Structure 1
């Protein structure tokens, strides 16, 4: 058994030596790279879900509805007998007292939201750019 393996081993060595190593063509690498080159994909164009005009309309409507709900009594209310105009106006003198703790909370919330929006927009810009 060992003798057959030795003969087979010697035979394969002779065949490999006789065949030699074939050399690829000079531009082999360039040809391979040209075949596997990535297809050109069109650049992604960023289009926001809600445009600037849309955000302006939403903001304007929010401000108008907030003003209407707090300044005027409409005669009917989904809130029942609550009169929202009495919450803000006290003898035609608007006065809103916000505790200092809430003011700090809102300030830091605003700062963190601005930071996160900036970071997320940069990340999306980088991902759309590449």
Structure 2
């Protein structure tokens, strides 16, 4: 393996020595700078990836989650009774799914919900 690597290395050195180095013309830098200046490029203003209102939503979710956990374990009773009289003929069947299956369904649902948002984001980024 090492002999093959050395042969390839020697071959590359020999080929590079034969080819030599190229030197650019005298006005190369000037032509490049003129080409860059002639481009009509508009600079888009900075926009954060996550807007402010989304940060407020994330903060509200975090606060409600912490408050909910506190209420669950602090022996605070929030018993609201909504007496919904559901007739017997509207009784829904009970579906028992394993915890793994519930996670799988949730993951797939979130995945399919996220695809349109990502597609719209990518379309907006590369449509310019």
TM-score calculated relative to the size of structure 1 = 0.36
Q: Which has the higher contact order (CA 8 A, sep 6+)?
A: 1
Structure whose CA Rg is larger: 1
State the TM-score, normalizing by the size of structure 2.
Answer: 0.37
